[in-house]
Amino acid sequence: SQQGEEDPQALSIQEGENATMNCSYKTSINNLQWYRQNSGRGLVHLILIRSNEREKHSGRLRVTLDTSKKSSSLLITASRAADTASYFCATAPWGNNRLAFGKGNQVVVIP
Amino acid sequence: DAGITQSPRYKITETGRQVTLMCHQTWSHSYMFWYRQDLGHGLRLIYYSAAADITDKGEVPDGYVVSRSKTENFPLTLESATRSQTSVYFCASSEWTGGFFYNEQFFGPGTRLTVL
């Protein structure tokens, strides 16, 4: 089954800096989604980008999708300490709504 | 409460016992899912359901049983719990609005299950 693979796995930045995470996948997708998980909590949906879209914005989040390279990136601008969390990408294939998750990126924002 | 809830939030059981994890959503979403999250594996899909009375296996279904007699409920049963099923279990739901594209999934708070 296809999976998202995030890169890098861990990121430590200063508050106010931008954080960029990448995700690659192997097969054709219906959409790609990014989720955030705070320690010991559930997953919070951040943004969904469809396969026919190239870029989406939501507040301080910017997601790009390059289907030719089978990759996506998540940019968090002007990071805050509250952005400290694990970030997961997940892909949905055509034909069913089954998400395949990557192993996640641990982001630490230092105040 | 509106949204998606799971119960219990924490459960300790013994090997060989049957355990049922409950999931309830108030949005009338068509799709519901069960995932498990383990260190080193990320989230893996156990079972999913496209509608009431329609279920299908995910990546790691062995040892689990699901049912969906009502749209809002999607219980997950471990028929004979094993230590390898110690994990955090997440339920999720997603709306089906037709068309070519699927929608985002909304996750419950999780159930932390320990099998001794």
B75 has a chain A CB within 8 A of its CB:
no
Burial (Cβ within 10 Å: 0-12, 13-18, ≥19) of residue B73: middle
CA distance B106 to chain A (A): 7
Average pLDDT over residues A37-63: 94
Domain of A22? 5-110
pLDDT at position A4 over 70: no
pLDDT digit string (tens) for B33-44? 999 999 877 899
Higher-confidence position of B15 and B39 = B15
CB atoms within 10 A of CB B34: 27
Q: Do A104 and B42 touch (CB under 8 A)?
A: yes
B105 has a chain A CB within 8 A of its CB:
yes
Q: How confident is the model at residue B97 (pLDDT cuts 50, 70, 90)?
A: confident
pLDDT in the model for residue A6: 63
Residue type, A43: L
Q: How confident is the model at residue A3 (pLDDT cuts 50, 70, 90)?
A: low
Q: Do B94 and A98 touch (CB under 8 A)?
A: no
pLDDT at position A39 over 60: yes
Q: What percentage of chain A reaches a pLDDT higher than 70?
A: 93
Q: Do A45 and B107 touch (CB under 8 A)?
A: yes
B101 has a chain A CB within 8 A of its CB:
yes
Q: Do B48 and A100 touch (CB under 8 A)?
A: no
B27 has a chain A CB within 8 A of its CB:
no
**CATH number (domain holding residue A85):** 2.60.40.10
pLDDT digit string (tens) for A51-92? 999 999 999 999 999 999 999 999 999 999 999 999 999 999
> What is the C-alpha to C-alpha distance for residues A19 and A105, in angstroms, rounded to an integer?
11
Of B40, B104, B110, the CB nearest to A48: B104
Which residues are CB-contacts of A57 (< 8 A; sequence separation ≥ 6)? A63
User: From the candidates A25, A86, A98, A105, which should be mutated to test the interface with B, based on the most B CB atoms within 10 A?
Assistant: A98
Of B77, B65, B90, B78, give the one whose Cα is nearest residue A99.
Answer: B90
Average pLDDT over residues A11-33: 93
Mean residue pLDDT of chain B comes to: 94
pLDDT at position B46 over 70: yes
Q: How confident is the model at residue A1 (pLDDT cuts 50, 70, 90)?
A: very low
Length of chain A, in residues: 111
Of A108, A36, A32, A100, give the one whose Cα is nearest residue A66.
Answer: A32
Could you check whether the bond before residue B8 is cis, i.e. omega within 30 degrees of 0? Answer: yes
Q: Do B42 and A103 touch (CB under 8 A)?
A: yes
pLDDT at position B92 over 90: yes
Of A98, A102, A76, give the one whose Cα is nearest residue A23.
Answer: A102
Q: How confident is the model at residue A2 (pLDDT cuts 50, 70, 90)?
A: very low
Average pLDDT over residues B20-40: 94
B15-95+111-115 is a CATH 3.40.50.300 domain: no
The number of domains in chain A is 1
Mean residue pLDDT of chain A comes to: 90
pLDDT in the model for residue A7: 61
The helix/strand/coil state of A16 is coil
SS3 track for A27-65: CCCCEEEEEEECCCCCEEEEEEEECCCCEEEECCEEEEE
